[in-house]
Structure 1
Amino acid sequence: MPRAKPDPTDRSITAGSDFLHLDVGAAPAGGRADWLAGRLRAAIADGRVPLGARLPASRVLADELGVSRGVVVEAYQRLTEEGHVAGRGRAGTVVVAAPAAAPLAPVTPTPPPPEALFVPSPGVEIFDALRTAPARIDLSPGVPDLAAFPRAAWLRSERVVLRHLDAAALGYGDPRGAPALRLAVAQRLARTRGIRVEADEVVVVAGVSQALGLLAQVLHDEGVHTVAVEDPGSLGVRQHLRNWRLDTPPVPVDGHGLRVDALAAAGHPAVLLTPAHQFPTGVVLHGDRRRRLRDWASDGGLVLEDDYDAEHRYDRPPVPALRAALPERVWYTGSVSKLLAPALRVGWVLAPPRQRDALVAAKRMADLGNAVLPQLVLAELMCSGDLDRHLRLLRRRHVRRRDAMIRAVARHLPGATVHGAAAGLHLTVTYPAGPPDVVLAAEALRRGVKTQPLSWHAQRPYPAGLVLGYAAIAPGEIEEGVAVLGAVLRGR
């Protein structure tokens, strides 16, 4: 009589002296069935005995272990009652479900005390630490309304992209970025920022932070090791530049923007500035200063223009980008971090023509280019008009929240001065008397309100103040948060 051929799908587990390395000698006296059921349960849970596997026949396993068959039968019965195995007649006892893994207790690190966070000269880890610090009300600047992210429009754009995506687009692409996004960005910059640029001149990057790193590499190769920065100016930007071994001497900012006379007198080769909405003061670079800056750049200076939130404007007409007037001497960077979400990690950079090839080479060696699918979806979002519709919605919402914050400051912080209200996602508030702003911010956090001290963003002595974000928080919470700040300031 011919033998049946073995079934290649058979998942039986034959008994043997090495089955799960079971040592019956480890079983407690009178508790062998419990012990065996526990060992089998653990093996099913961790995958050593997978779902669909057939356990050894009870008689065979009992013989191998040197125990009575009743011990094995009882162990199998317990696993059956628990729903982990099932008897399948001639097919034997089969594993049908793994035990639910016990949930791991979440490890919640103890946050540092507020006074340990708000020190006069914070390190590079400060923003990560501050983001994770618990707070009832978060007035941190630089955060858009993440709850307003246009999920439905993003999904529509994603479906359009995937429906028409050629397979070749999923391979390695141009390190400068997807052509569709570079074209969409070029068209948007011409329409909203006055910059006339070809799509081939746009390099897509992982946000402004990567743009700064690539720029630093190009400057180092040219022998430039100093980039002057606005004072006050972004601590985060300063940290990024210093990480790339660039010195960042301060140039003062006043009510008309960067002091170009001080920049020229210092002889710095390059300067980074935020001319459309200076961070953190909100000042717009005055027309006369722009003309002086163009003269300074024409004499050999290099301008790094961070256009971080220029589209968020409410009470004034748009201010053209510096790049529009001086393309030969201006690096221009922008992103969707303040428009959609920082998590997208999509931005763009325009380099002066003579440095464009070096920028592309640095980008190629950094990562071979950004992920393509998000670029294509963003391009569709721009071209469909959904991004502009989203921006209009945000502007209306931001105006309400900004006005709520201005009213709250007037009510709870009498004597304080509000700066930069015409645009952006934050207000800067200075106060004439009271504790240092790091002390004020620390005590506010202790009471559940998170913000940033203005002194963090200044390298030279500057009036005490706070930088208060309003874009991501409802008017009622804005009122409550500013009330807490007022109580702290009054010593209550």
Structure 2
Amino acid sequence: MREFTLDFSTSKKPIFHQLYTYFKNGIREGRLRSGDYLPSLRSSARSFGVSKNSVENAYQLLISEGYLRNIPKKGYCVTYEPDASPREVIGAEAANISERTVTTDFRYGNIELGTFPFRHWNKVRNLLVAQYQSRYAVEGTNQGEYLLRKELSRLLYESRGVLSTPDQIVVGAAPQQLVMLLSQLLDVKKHRIGVENPGYDGARNTFLNLGFRVRPIPLTGSGVSLRELTGSGANVMYVSPSQQFRNRMTMPADKRTELADWARSREYLIEDDYEWEFKYEEGILPAIQSMVPDKTVYIGRISKALLPVFNLSYMVLPSGLLSEFHSKVPEYDQPVSRLDQLTFARYLSDGYWYKHLQQMRRLYEEKQRYFAEALERYMPGKAQAEGKDTGLHAFLTVRTDRSEDELIEAALEKGVRVYGTARYWLRPGDEYPTVLLGYGALGREEIAAGVKALAEAWF
């Protein structure tokens, strides 16, 4: 086993961040290659003479940025390719099947690239390079560029009713990275975290890996069960009311009010406003944060409407946690480049963002309709898609005696790649197997051909 050494006395940054930087540099410089495994949490802690929690934090940050993947029963595998952005890496287990011919890849996270205004985006970037040359010579603020936070505060108020000042906003690369940052502001002994079950595994696993007591809260037809939440003992709840990640439901107004009332007598509500931009049929309801701003941590992301490699997320902290941020993590390194932040701020202030978002909404609504038509044509009564009026992907529950793995394997034999969903459950749930299909990057004919091939493979 290779040896790793690091002198922690040369930096004032937190131990976990020094470990993260050490491994990231090793990966980017080729000392650790794609397919290599990092030592286990226990082995790394022993080797470096640090706590297991510090190693966990470092590994989780590397995972959130696409450098690592935690493969069950194997360990932490490097997935970064030197000539690829971390977010372009598809994962070690996918590489094992890459030799097969795949004609349709329903990969979640892929989006339409043909309509992105690359020329205009680059023009704005170049203008900003000339305008702010002196600014790039000094470090920016750890919360993110003020111009961007100002525009985000305005955007969130106008579109979501979020009540915030620029000073309350923290910019980050990915939601999971912001969740890990947030966990440093919470108290592992005091705070008990409720999570949707099924739900976003990135947040759930981050809290679990950092030692928090996590309570799985089942879902009803209108969202998280308030009865189960109240009886769980959780005093912090992570929820995605605009578009529940697994069941694709939108929480109605009365349930949002009930959840806001719950939060008023507890610690915090963490509102992940997942894909609110891509709601097609019903009206977009205001964020819960607008009802209880002093009790809500609001998290959002931008990449789905721009480019996957443009990792920009943001978090609005209530005043109580903002003071914790300044006192507990003053060494937080801003992971998003200043130029990317300023470019997007200009896109917001000049109105380009709204124009592009409207175009993408129309495009993805068409793709969603093509997908629904293909299901009705090739799988009538045999499969049920969750989230018929929202998002860039679907969770397809298949009425079959086969397992999730068997469905995935049968699809591959027909040249179609779909993805499993078992990881989104903290405890077993669905009677029938469910697979994840993303269609954001596919055309009408590709969607139809892929669904037809799945029907032939499964029925």
Question: What TM-score, normalized by structure 1, do the two folds share?
Answer: 0.71
Question: Deviation at 1:460?
Answer: 2.5
Please tell me the residue identity of whatever aligns with 2:443.
A
Q: For 1:302 and 1:225, locate their aligned partners in 2 and report how far apart those are by CA, in whole Å.
A: 9
Q: Which of residues 312, 330, 353 in structure 2 aligns to 1:387? A: 353
Distance 1:308 1:169, change over 3 A: same
Q: For 1:158 and 1:242, locate their aligned partners in 2 and report how far apart those are by CA, in whole Å.
A: 40
Q: For 1:108 and 1:271, locate their aligned partners in 2 and report how far apart those are by CA, in whole Å.
A: 36
Q: Does 1:460 align with 2:423?
A: no
Please tell me the residue identity of whatever aligns with 2:436.
V
Q: Does 1:431 align with 2:398?
A: yes
Identity %: 26
Distance 1:359 1:128, change over 3 A: farther
Higher radius of gyration, 1 or 2:
1
Distance 1:382 1:343, change over 3 A: same
- For residues 279-428 of structure 1, the aligned pairs below 5 Å read 279-361=245-327, 364-368=330-334, 370-415=336-381, 416-428=383-395
TM-superposition CA deviations, 1:330-367 (whole Å, max 9, x none)? 11111112111232221110111101122245554231
- For residues 435-446 of structure 1, the aligned pairs below 5 Å read 435-446=402-413
The answer to which of 133-142 and 307-316 deviates more is 133-142
Question: Deviation at 1:122?
Answer: 9.8
Q: Does 1:475 align with 2:444?
A: yes
TM-superposition CA deviations, 1:439-459 (whole Å, max 9, x none)? 202321343222222333223
Question: Deviation at 1:120?
Answer: 9.7
TM-superposition CA deviations, 1:271-309 (whole Å, max 9, x none)? 111100110211011222212211211111421111121
**Does the CA-based 8 Å contact 1:207-1:335 persist in structure 2?**
yes
**Does the CA-based 8 Å contact 2:279-2:389 persist in structure 1?**
yes
Q: For 2:292 and 2:457, locate their aligned partners in 1 and report how far apart those are by CA, in whole Å.
A: 47
What corresponds to 1:239 in structure 2?
Answer: 205
Question: Deviation at 1:147?
Answer: 4.2
Question: Deviation at 1:403?
Answer: 0.9
What is the total number of aligned residue pairs between the two structures? Answer: 375
Please tell me the residue identity of whatever aligns with 2:355.
R
What corresponds to 2:230 in structure 1?
Answer: 264
**Does the CA-based 8 Å contact 1:227-1:269 persist in structure 2?**
yes
What corresponds to 2:13 in structure 1?
Answer: none
**Does the CA-based 8 Å contact 2:104-2:446 persist in structure 1?**
yes
Question: Deviation at 1:145?
Answer: 2.2
**Does the CA-based 8 Å contact 2:222-2:252 persist in structure 1?**
yes
Q: Please, what is the CA RMSD of the aligned residues?
A: 2.6
Q: For 1:410 and 1:205, locate their aligned partners in 2 and report how far apart those are by CA, in whole Å.
A: 40
TM-superposition CA deviations, 1:9-64 (whole Å, max 9, x none)? xxxxxxxxxxxxxxxxxxxxxxxxxxxxxxxxxxxxxxxxxxxxxxxxxxxxxxxx
Please tell me the residue identity of whatever aligns with 2:306.
L
What corresponds to 1:179 in structure 2?
Answer: 146
- Report the secondary structure of 1:228's partner residue: strand
Question: Deviation at 1:211?
Answer: 0.7
**Does the CA-based 8 Å contact 1:176-1:360 persist in structure 2?**
no
**Does the CA-based 8 Å contact 2:374-2:448 persist in structure 1?**
yes
- Report the secondary structure of 1:159's partner residue: helix
Q: Which of residues 138, 141, 157 in structure 1 aligns to 2:105? A: 138
Distance 1:430 1:121, change over 3 A: farther
Q: For 2:329 and 2:307, locate their aligned partners in 1 and report how far apart those are by CA, in whole Å.
A: 22
Q: For 1:280 and 1:486, locate their aligned partners in 2 and report how far apart those are by CA, in whole Å.
A: 22
**Does the CA-based 8 Å contact 2:176-2:202 persist in structure 1?**
no
- Report the secondary structure of 1:323's partner residue: helix
**Does the CA-based 8 Å contact 2:237-2:270 persist in structure 1?**
yes
Q: For 1:399 and 1:314, locate their aligned partners in 2 and report how far apart those are by CA, in whole Å.
A: 6
Question: Deviation at 1:373?
Answer: 1.2
- Report the secondary structure of 1:406's partner residue: helix
What corresponds to 2:86 in structure 1?
Answer: none
Which residues of structure 2 form unaligned runs of 5+? 1-32, 36-68, 80-89
Q: For 1:454 and 1:207, locate their aligned partners in 2 and report how far apart those are by CA, in whole Å.
A: 20
Question: Deviation at 1:244?
Answer: 2.9
Q: For 1:378 and 1:414, locate their aligned partners in 2 and report how far apart those are by CA, in whole Å.
A: 43
Distance 1:385 1:411, change over 3 A: same
**Does the CA-based 8 Å contact 1:203-1:360 persist in structure 2?**
no
Question: Deviation at 1:238?
Answer: 2.5
Distance 1:394 1:293, change over 3 A: same
Distance 1:369 1:232, change over 3 A: closer
Q: For 1:341 and 1:377, locate their aligned partners in 2 and report how far apart those are by CA, in whole Å.
A: 14
- For residues 3-402 of structure 1, the aligned pairs below 5 Å read 128-129=91-92, 132=95, 133-134=97-98, 135-220=102-187, 223-224=189-190, 226-361=192-327, 364-368=330-334, 370-402=336-368
TM-superposition CA deviations, 1:133-192 (whole Å, max 9, x none)? 533311122333244433122112212312321513431121111111001111110111
Distance 1:147 1:204, change over 3 A: same
Which residues of structure 1 form unaligned runs of 5+? 1-106, 110-116
**Does the CA-based 8 Å contact 1:259-1:289 persist in structure 2?**
no
Distance 1:453 1:353, change over 3 A: same
Question: What TM-score, normalized by structure 2, do the two folds share?
Answer: 0.76
Q: For 2:283 and 2:115, locate their aligned partners in 1 and report how far apart those are by CA, in whole Å.
A: 24
Q: For 1:280 and 1:466, locate their aligned partners in 2 and report how far apart those are by CA, in whole Å.
A: 10
**Does the CA-based 8 Å contact 1:336-1:342 persist in structure 2?**
no
- Report the secondary structure of 2:124's partner residue: helix
Distance 1:369 1:487, change over 3 A: closer
